Amino acid sequence: MNEWIFDIWTIITASTVACTSAILGSFLVLRKKAMVGDAISHSVLPGIVLAYMVSQSRASWVMLIGAAIFGVLTNVLIEFLNKKAKMTADASIGITFTWLFAIGVILLAYFTAGGIDLDQECVLFGEISMINLDKIVVDENLYLGPTAFWFIFPVFILVLLFTTIGFKGLKITSFNEDYAASLGIKNGFWNYSLMALVSLSTVMSFESVGAILVVGLLVIPPASAYLLTKKLKVMIFLGCLFGIMSSVIGFYIAKHYNLSISGCIVCVAGLIFLVNLVYSIIQSKSKRNISIQQ
């Protein structure tokens, strides 16, 4: 099978992850909870280990179930500490993911000491360059893409439908929760629904394409878009565009220089952010000068 087909599917998979992450990440940036994806990618480790302990299987679907349960638990704990214990969002995230990750490390060390081969790197951190090794082929000839793509694509559709239908509720609760409450909008429902989708998309993505890529695309492209516009729909569109650009450019840089694809994609996303940051600063100074002259 031609190598370019594998390349195209790798880019398509990365771009799908990028768009899914950009849509959700836009709301996280507005809510000042951009690092929730990073928290989930670390705090699901005990869920993975416990899933193995119960099932004695390293099958992907078993690991994903365990990870998904602890991903939701992570969000519940973050929201509890933030809303009920009145802690700041960053403190709630930091406490939750370090505590759960530490529990996972202890459990992992216990299993390793018992002679059980359960490697954190294998079950927690994937690498997008390897996704075509696990592929779907029909009649030994028709290549339908890597399994990783068919894991994340339904999540992308779900995220797209949810944000389209619930855009008003997500928008108002992201900008002003007090105003949303005065309108009778249930902040809790939208918060937990958004966090559940973040948990699902993160878990479904990182096992195959890598935690670095997921977390990077969840934060950097939406943050880049936020520098250029204050309109939410435009921010989401630009976030998706920057994510796709990062995926395409990062992939070919990595292929040309034989580097990590995930690392190059995130680095390109960071460079796009820096360009937008410089542009934003220049525009801000220009407007300030015009105001002073008037």
Alpha carbon distance 201, 250 (integer Å):
21
Question: Which runs of consecutive H residues, i.e. helices, occur in the chain?
Answer: 3-30, 36-43, 45-55, 60-79, 89-113, 120-123, 147-165, 167-175, 177-182, 187-209, 211-228, 232-257, 261-293
Considering the domain boundaries, does residue 244 fall inside one?
no
CB 100 within 8 A of CB 228: no
pLDDT tens across the length of the chain (294 residues)? 577 888 999 999 999 999 999 999 999 999 888 888 778 877 888 887 888 788 776 666 777 788 778 888 888 898 888 888 888 888 888 899 899 989 988 887 777 655 555 555 555 556 788 888 877 777 677 778 888 898 899 999 999 999 999 999 999 999 888 888 888 888 888 988 898 888 888 888 876 677 778 889 999 999 999 999 989 999 999 999 999 999 999 999 999 999 989 889 999 999 999 999 999 998 887 776 655 555
User: What separation in angstroms does the CA of 204 have from each of 128, 196, 268?
Assistant: 13, 12, 23
Q: Which amino acid is at 257?
A: Y
Q: How far is 268 from 254, CA to CA, in rounded Å?
A: 11
107 lies in a domain?
yes
Are 155 and 209 in contact by the 8 Å Cβ rule? The answer is no
C-alpha 69: how far from chain center: 17
In angstroms, rounded to a whole number, what is the distance separating the alpha carbons of residues 61 and 47? Answer: 12
Does residue 277 fall inside a structural domain? no
Question: How many CB atoms lie under 10 A from the CB of residue 24?
Answer: 29
In a domain, residue 291? The reply is no
What is the C-alpha separation between 14 and 126, in angstroms, rounded?
Answer: 13
- Domain housing 87: 3-220
CB 81 within 8 A of CB 67: no
Domain count within the chain: 1
CA distance linking residue 224 with residue 220, whole number of Å: 6
Give CA–CA dist 284/272, Å, rounded. 18
pTM equals 0.88
CATH of the domain at 139: 1.10.3470.10
* In-domain check, residue 158: yes
Report d(CA 113, CA 80) in Å as an integer.
35
* Alpha-helical segments (H) within 210-260: 211-228, 232-257
Q: CA-CA distance, 195 to 89, in Å (whole number)? A: 13
Tell whether 212 is covered by a domain.
yes
Q: What is the pLDDT of residue 241?
A: 98
In a domain, 176, yes or no: yes
Predicted local distance difference test score (pLDDT) of residue 276: 96
Burial environment of residue 280 by CB neighbours within 10 A (0 to 12, 13 to 18, 19 or more): middle
* 238 domain-assigned: no
| pLDDT given for residue 66 in this prediction | 82
